[in-house]
Amino acid sequence: MKIIILGSGSAYGSPMIFNQWDKLNAGNPKNIRNRASLYMEIEGKKFVIDAGPEFRLELNQNNITDIDSVFITHGHYDHIASVPELSRACTSKAHAIEVWSSEETEKELKQSFGFMFNGAEKESAGIYWRRLPNLGKFISQGIEFQTFQVRHHKFHCSSFRYQDFAYITDWEEISQSGLEALQGLKLLIIECNNGLYPEKNGHSDLENVKRVINTIHPERVILTHLSCRVDYDDIQNSLPDNVELAYDGMTIEM
Ligand SMILES: [Zn+2]
Ligand SMILES: [Zn+2]
């Protein structure tokens, strides 16, 4: 299995619009972050989690020339802005792309991109809309995944597990069933939007992440969906030994 972090940034990316860096050192390329997204290659099948504003650039920057399935975590724009672009991807490859979302997220997609669902076939040509369960197993491209939801503001954000790897983006609370689904992980990639600065904003900080780590004991942890308050070098001394920060283009072979 190959994983590429396509984007490690929070909703506003970094630097933010008008070149705002906040607490980031502008001299470190690892502080330049696209909106959060992940690529997984499993048994030759190509999966992407979320399709935010930089989706096209993320694929092109990493020389990814095909995808089979996209899993959408929730309806915030930093995770769905490029969903309409998937139709273009289908036409250029002449094969369908599965787009998976929960019932809640599908409602958000329909509100945001009504033109894709109102019978205008061109806008959704080639997209095969699939429904994610809120909790449990699903099979995409012949590969079995597990999904469960985490709380994020008033939303529920779908999280994913494949074998001993799991990905959790936007969250502030993980339920007991979620924690049970996370037992025995070799790798956990998890949102740590606020870093060392706790804030009630629907996201997590390093202390929240440490509580999860101390409950489920994953072997390796990578923090992603990082805001402009999370400088790559600043936070390093506060991280436990098995925890590191994501950066765009980070590649992991498992
Ligand atoms: Zn987000
Ligand atoms: Zn969100």
196 CA distance to ligand 2 centroid (A)?
19
C-alpha 72 to ligand 2 mean position (Å): 11
- Show Cβ contacts of residue 41 under 8 Å, excluding neighbours closer than 6 positions: 1, 2, 3, 47
Return the ligand number nearest the Cα of 191. Answer: 1
Distance 74 CA to ligand 2 centre (A): 7
Can you read off the two tokens belonging to residue 138?
Answer: 């699903």
The sign of the CA dihedral 73, 74, 78, 79 is positive
CA of 24 to the centre of ligand 2 (A): 21
Q: Tell me, in angstroms, the distance from the centre of ligand 2 to residue 152's CA.
A: 7
Looking from the CA of 201 toward its CB, the CA atoms found within 13 Å total 14
pLDDT band at 149 (very low <50, low <70, confident <90, very high): very high
Please tell me the distance from the alpha carbon of residue 204 to that of residue 166, in angstroms, as a whole number: 17
The answer to whether 46 and 6 are in contact (CB under 8 A) is: no
For ligand 1, the distance from its centroid to the CA atom of residue 169, given in whole angstroms, is 7
Instruction: Compute the mean pLDDT over every residue in the chain, rounded to the nearest whole number.
Output: 95
Question: How close is the Cα of 106 to the center of ligand 2, in Å?
Answer: 15
Whether the pLDDT of residue 104 is over 90: the answer is yes
Kindly identify the ligand whose nearest atom is closest to the C-alpha of 35: 1
Q: Ligand 1 mean position to 209 CA, how many Å?
A: 16
Report pTM. Answer: 0.96
- pLDDT at residue 120 in the model: 63
Closest-CA residue to 159 (of 135, 139, 183, 142) = 135
- CA separation for the pair 11, 32 (Å, rounded): 13
Ligand nearest the Cα of residue 172 is 2
Please report which ligand is nearest the Cα atom of 13.
1
Asked if 48 and 70 touch (Cβ cutoff 8 Å), the reply is yes
- Among the bound ligands, name the one nearest to the CA of residue 74: 2
Going from the Cα of 78 to the center of ligand 1, the distance in angstroms, rounded, reads: 5
Query: What pLDDT, in 10s, does the model give residues 180-226?
Result: 999 999 999 999 999 999 999 999 999 999 999 999 999 999 999 99
Residue 87 Cα to ligand 2 middle (Å): 23
Ligand 1 center from residue 94 Cα (angstroms) = 30
CA of 15 to the centre of ligand 2 (A): 18
Residue 52 CA to ligand 1 centre (angstroms): 9
Band of residue 92 on the pLDDT scale cut at 50, 70, 90:
confident
* pLDDT tens-digit readout, 25-64: 999 999 999 999 999 999 999 999 999 999 999 999 999 9
What per-residue confidence (pLDDT) applies to 121?
Answer: 64
Tens digits of residue pLDDT in 2-29: 999 999 999 999 999 999 999 999 999 9
Q: What is the CATH number of domain 2-253?
A: 3.60.15.10
